[in-house]
Structure 1
């Protein structure tokens, strides 16, 4: 049975999701930031079976107001795109069972919104904590190649391709009782090795790595082996 999706945030990720849904025969409507202001505009009350919330953190807007606007209008399965930044600087293996430790204002805002959404929507909610994103024309090496000093070369990569993030969200929309999933590819080389390979491939300057300490921070998932076993880009080796 075809579904209707509401996509709040038809940007780099949301627009690609809409394209995928069309190919699958599903319907969608959405909002764009240039015409919809989450803080001042009324939340859309258009029907949808799945509501895809893909707004950037809005720390200038209280989490309570943000969630209340959604609660007044939404009567659907909700997929909220959060971030692995909520784990802060935690080391070692990080899964959905790990404690959050947000260190930035944006990460703290996400943690508060996650909690409030759980309270309001319970079983109708899946929180997707996405790692760093690649795909299309987007890759962290473009930013890093312009920096004069990178101190995280000995840290592990915790990224995901846009196509796999969309696939995870599609799988979550069909599943029941998936409250939380870490969306990160199962490939964790050291950043220096990985980004140098991509710099060569994309013909951009290699990042300049200076000093820095080792880090064993690796974000994985206890949920994905069953929810999403067939990856599109598990080794993060194409855009």
Structure 2
């Protein structure tokens, strides 16, 4: 029976772990909150309290990785703007966390790593974005994700696949809730680049099932109405105050292509969820 370790059993990692358990996998799952340990255990996950810092890591990391062949890293950078470290603005906190993790992966049984990244590594470009597009992140989060991707990809001790998700939505999570009733919203004609939690989980499952390693995948639903059209309709559907957009600034028309994901993994997005 294959064992997987999932670093970060949060909004995506927890239902992902449940999916793998349902498919007969053994799953080690981590959380940074002691209160969540019973939740993981109740779901059939072998729970671990793991805190990953730039200069230290929990002693439990070795047990968390032990006997697993696959590691899924699903921890968000949690960075905003250029505020990377109040004590040293040049430090790359998230990158250093990944650097700190890598030696523990190297001495473990892990042979495959799947790193959950973001399409923010591409920045805002007026073009069709594919995996061949040169990344050009314009946010601190995107910059650190790209550097972290490279650290994992360059390591010869394990194979790494990167999956770059677009804007995350789910049955309990939708950006229209934050946009409802707001005015002067930018980029009304920009296409949306979203992915539903259910597609995230299924794509990760297919990568592992099909042993598609040493790859980079964009994962965004092939559904790109304009922001104004999409969020206005969603507000109507959810009986929320309509968002109001402004056309004063130039709209960025970036479209993320998931053609490779659809073709190589033979994957079909569930557009009814959008």
TM-score by length of 1: 0.90
Calculate the aligned-residue CA RMSD, in Å.
2.0
Aligned match of 1:9: 8
Aligned match of 2:271: 234
* Candidates 101, 110, 114, aligned match of 2:136: 101
Q: Contact between 1:9 and 1:53, CA under 8 Å: does it hold in 2? A: yes
Alignment of 1:69-148 (within 5 A): 69-73=101-105, 74=108, 75-121=110-156, 124-148=159-183
| Residue segments in structure 1 that go unaligned for 5+ positions in a row | none
Cα deviation, residue 31, structure 1: 0.8
Cα deviation, residue 187, structure 1: 0.8
| 1:107 partner SS | helix
Q: 1:79 to 1:121 in 2, by over 3 A?
A: farther
Q: Contact between 1:160 and 1:236, CA under 8 Å: does it hold in 2? A: no
Larger radius of gyration, structure 1 or 2?
2
Alpha-carbon separation, structure 1, partners of 2:96 and 2:145: 12
Aligned match of 2:50: 36
Alpha-carbon separation, structure 2, partners of 1:82 and 1:199: 28
Cα deviation, residue 114, structure 1: 0.7
| 2:104 partner SS | helix
* Candidates 196, 205, 217, aligned match of 2:254: 217
Aligned length: 236
Cα deviation, residue 201, structure 1: 1.0
Question: Is 1:47 matched with 2:67?
Answer: yes
* Candidates 236, 241, 254, aligned match of 1:200: 236
Aligned match of 2:76: 56
Alpha-carbon separation, structure 2, partners of 1:121 and 1:132: 31
Alpha-carbon separation, structure 1, partners of 2:271 and 2:265: 11
Question: Deviation per CA, 1:125-184, whole angstroms, max 9, x where unpaired?
Answer: 100110001112101111111533211221001001111111111111132344200011
Alpha-carbon separation, structure 2, partners of 1:122 and 1:141: 43
Instruction: Detail structure 1 runs of 4+ shifted over 6 Å in the superposition.
Output: none
| Residue segments in structure 2 that go unaligned for 5+ positions in a row | 34-48, 79-83, 86-92
Alpha-carbon separation, structure 2, partners of 1:179 and 1:122: 16
- Of 89-98 and 172-181, more deviation after overlay is shown by 172-181
TM-score by length of 2: 0.79
Q: Contact between 1:185 and 1:236, CA under 8 Å: does it hold in 2? A: no
Q: Which has the higher contact order (CA 8 A, sep 6+)?
A: 1
Cα deviation, residue 82, structure 1: 0.5
- Of 106-115 and 62-71, more deviation after overlay is shown by 62-71
Cα deviation, residue 198, structure 1: 0.9
